[in-house]
Amino acid sequence: MDKVLEISPLFIRINDADNVAIAVKDIPAGAKVAEGIITNMEIPQAHKVALEDINVGESVVRYGMILGFAKESIKCGDWINEFALELPKPPNIDEMEYGKNIDTELPKAPRRTFEGFRNPDGGYAGTRNILGISSTVQCVTGVLNVAVQKMKEELLPKYPNVDDIVPINHAYGCGVAINASEANIPIRTLRNLIKNPNFGGQIMVVGLGCEKLTVDMLLEETDINPNNVIILQEQEGFDAMIKALMKMADMKLQILNERIREPLPLSDLCIGLQCGGSDAFSGVTANPSAGYASDMLVEAGATVMFSEVTEVRDGVHYIAERCINKEVCDKLSKEMKWYDNYLSESEVDRSANPTPGNKKGGLCNIVEKAMGSITKSGTSPIVEVLSPAERPTKHGMIYAATPASDIVCGPCQLASGIALQVFMTGRGTPYGLAAAPVIKVCSRSEMKQMWGDLIDVNAGLIATGDASIKEIGTELFDYILDVASGKMRTAAEKYKLYNDVCIFNPAPIT
């Protein structure tokens, strides 16, 4: 499905069933693309050129998959953009086959350990040593931000083994239907964010005192005590609040400062995969490279998550074929149905997903975007499917159902336990997470040339035939382990490009 069969100086064709190819560079009108194929108009970079005549109603095929049906007759050499296609029906999720495509011959990992921070709960290890400070409600954000700035200036320099102090500010907590059926999603997210491996098991929660999201909804009963929780309404004024926060943070920092990196097996590492600002090269270069690196990580025992429901929905039957048993496949179907219903309640569907930038980058519709997105998961068997922000119970390749929005998917994956994220982009985005390093992989060399100080790994060399998926995938694998081991800092870390924590809340706001 994702094997590149033909790369010419002008175009890339993915599958021998494809009747379109994407332009490696801008192709002028009248250019000979291949024998018998001359462009009838200019074809922008990454956009599709028809390799044969396609009549009204006939299929336009890329990745060996029907992207849509021609609205008007298309001539060989024509430009095919988002206006040319009628969207096909999504795959049926009630009759998916599972266990049909279980690949156990994964590429051998050249390294099988990393230098990480072991955690007291015996779960996944940290790649960073961070004091995470959770909040129950947006109302405390102003005070917490002032306190954190003071902590970084006055306390953090005393504890050289601690990398950062990160406030978990969010918009949830009050003015919400706390008992609504879907309120379990934001509450689960916030509960599990506290447990992220990079926080070293240290708990520090700041509440206001009158919010709907009470402390007992976030913490186990044994963790609710004055050593872990500060309620601002119980403090006598602003100065008292800051002093209380500083005192607790100092205590937590002393403990975290005792953490040291040590050699650990890759089975102690959990990473997330995400893509944003995608283009038509994403599914040819950046995502397949991440898939190759992921297969090596899984082969060595690591846990890797990929997500974004609307960006797999049209290729979900391919994911089902990699599910190891009926239980995993049924959970996959359940998550797809939930999201279908979630969208339909607002009278929208998956077609709302592609952005103007995606389309400018050559992606016609959500089918094309989904087929490229799935390639980042490689070929590993799918061992588990998670609901949004749920914590895993297995090691290996996991599908973690989340919205496709970058800034919502990230916190969901953090709550599910990732200690590092790999982010693929075609159009470019300065996205980053404060709680975990984010490695940025670009799909085009032009993106690396333009944003050389923001891109960590360039997969664009694959598009021009100057590197293979295996070569870039291996480079990315090594980079992941170097970042996880603290030997490298990503561009997002260097410049502290951290997005706000946006919690997925499908429940009503009151």
DSSP secondary structure string for all residues of 421-472: EEEEESS------SSS-EEEEES-HHHHHHTTTT-SEE-GGGTTTSS-HHHH
Indicate whether 223 belongs to any domain: yes
Note whether 386 and 237 are within 8 A (CB): no
Indicate whether 95 belongs to any domain: no
Q: Is the pLDDT of residue 15 over 50?
A: yes
The one-letter amino acid code at 419 reads A
Q: Is the pLDDT of residue 474 over 60?
A: yes
Asked if 316 and 233 sit in the same domain, the reply is no
Note whether 160 and 229 are within 8 A (CB): no
Q: Is the pLDDT of residue 7 over 70?
A: no
User: Domain tally for the chain?
Assistant: 3
- CATH number of the domain enclosing 193: 3.40.50.2300
Indicate whether 94 belongs to any domain: no
Residue 228's pLDDT is 98
User: Which range, of 13-17, 381-385, 434-438, averages the lowest pLDDT?
Assistant: 13-17
Q: Which residue has the tokens 């520090």?
A: 204
Asked if 255 and 288 sit in the same domain, the reply is no
Residue 282's pLDDT is 94
Asked if 202 and 130 sit in the same domain, the reply is yes
- Structural Rg of the chain based on CA atoms: 24
Note whether 394 and 383 are within 8 A (CB): yes
Host domain of residue 242: 116-261
Asked if 150 and 71 sit in the same domain, the reply is no
Residue 175's pLDDT is 94
Residues 360-365 have a mean pLDDT of 88
- CATH number of the domain enclosing 30: 2.30.130.110
**DSSP-derived secondary structure for 378-408:** TT--EEEEE-TTPPP-S-SEEEE---S-HHH
Q: Is the pLDDT of residue 328 over 70?
A: yes
d(CA 418, CA 420): 6
d(CA 91, CA 75): 28
Last residue of one domain, picked from the residues 261, 287, 302: 261
Read off the pLDDT of residues 382-425 as tens digits, 9 standing for 90 and up. 999 999 999 999 999 999 999 999 999 999 999 999 999 999 99
d(CA 282, CA 452): 18
Residue 395's pLDDT is 97
CB burial string 440-462: b at 16+ within 10 A, e below: bbbbbbbbbeebeebbbbbbbbb
Indicate whether 145 belongs to any domain: yes
Read off the pLDDT of residues 183-231 as tens digits, 9 standing for 90 and up. 999 999 999 999 999 999 999 999 999 999 999 999 999 999 999 999 9
Residues 155-178 have a mean pLDDT of 97
d(CA 485, CA 483): 5
Asked if 319 and 467 sit in the same domain, the reply is yes
User: Can you read off the two tokens belonging to residue 59?
Assistant: 């299929």
The helix (H) or strand (E) run that includes residue 68 is: strand 65-70
Asked if 294 and 192 sit in the same domain, the reply is no
Q: Is the pLDDT of residue 357 over 90?
A: no
Asked if 238 and 365 sit in the same domain, the reply is no
Asked if 249 and 288 sit in the same domain, the reply is no
Residue 3's pLDDT is 52
Asked if 133 and 24 sit in the same domain, the reply is no
Indicate whether 102 belongs to any domain: no
Instruction: Classify 156 as helix, strand or coil.
Output: helix
Closest Cα partner for 302 from 49, 114, 105? 114
Q: Is the pLDDT of residue 90 over 90?
A: no
Indicate whether 252 belongs to any domain: yes
Spatial neighbors of 28 by CB under 8 A, at least 6 apart, are: 39, 42
Q: Is the pLDDT of residue 351 over 80?
A: no
Asked if 82 and 122 sit in the same domain, the reply is no
The model's confidence at residue 323, banded by pLDDT at 50, 70 and 90, is very high
Residue 1's pLDDT is 43
Residue 356's pLDDT is 86
Read off the pLDDT of residues 119-141 as tens digits, 9 standing for 90 and up. 998 999 999 999 999 999 999 99
Indicate whether 310 belongs to any domain: yes
d(CA 136, CA 134): 7
Read off the pLDDT of residues 265-321 as tens digits, 9 standing for 90 and up. 999 999 999 999 999 999 999 999 999 999 999 999 999 999 999 999 999 999 999
Residues counted in the chain: 510
Burial class (CB in 10 A: 0-12, 13-18, 19+), 35: exposed
Q: Is the pLDDT of residue 2 over 70?
A: no
Closest Cα partner for 461 from 2, 7, 18? 7
d(CA 256, CA 241): 22
Give 73-125 as a 3 state SS string: CECCCCEECHHHEECCCCCCCCCCCCCCCCCCCCCCCCCCEEEEECCCCCCCC
Asked if 172 and 62 sit in the same domain, the reply is no
Asked if 472 and 336 sit in the same domain, the reply is yes
Q: Is the pLDDT of residue 334 over 90?
A: yes
Residues 238-260 have a mean pLDDT of 98
Indicate whether 216 belongs to any domain: yes
Residues 141-157 have a mean pLDDT of 98
d(CA 452, CA 443): 13
CB burial string 174-183: b at 16+ within 10 A, e below: bebebeeebb
